[in-house]
């Protein structure tokens, strides 16, 4: 089933390392330790995503990831 969201399969995204990262801006030098880069493997219509981060698969909601663009 195709995902109904702004994220697509094989897209690079920012994934939070820590919960506090959600209130910060990824990609800046001050937040370097709070975010990882991941790639979306799969997403469903409910907004759940499977993301490959550092060789591990993580399952999280799209509200917790940020676009690289």
3 — pLDDT class (breaks 50, 70, 90): very low
Q: Is residue 2 part of a domain?
A: no
Q: Is residue 27 part of a domain?
A: yes
pTM to 2 decimals? 0.80
The single residue listed with the structure tokens 């801006």 is 25
Q: What contacts 61, CB < 8 A, 6 or more positions away?
A: 47, 48, 49
Q: Is residue 46 part of a domain?
A: yes
What range does the domain containing 51 cover? Answer: 12-67
Name the helix (H) or strand (E) containing 33: none
pLDDT at position 4 is 52
Q: Are 68 and 48 in contact (CB under 8 A)?
A: no
Q: Is residue 5 part of a domain?
A: no
Backbone angles phi, psi at 6, to 5 degrees: -80, -10
- Tally the domains of the chain: 1
Q: pLDDT tens-digit profile of 22-69?
A: 889 898 888 888 999 999 999 888 889 999 999 999 999 999 999 987
Q: Are 44 and 2 in contact (CB under 8 A)?
A: no
């Amino acid at each position: 089933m195709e995902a109904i969201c702004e994220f697509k399969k094989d897209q690079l995204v920012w994934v939070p390392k820590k919960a506090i990262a959600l209130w910060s801006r990824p990609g800046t030098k001050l937040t370097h330790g709070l975010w990882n880069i991941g790639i979306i493997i799969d997403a469903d219509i409910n907004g759940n995503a499977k993301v490959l981060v550092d060789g591990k698969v993580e399952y999280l909601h799209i509200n917790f990831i940020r676009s690289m663009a």
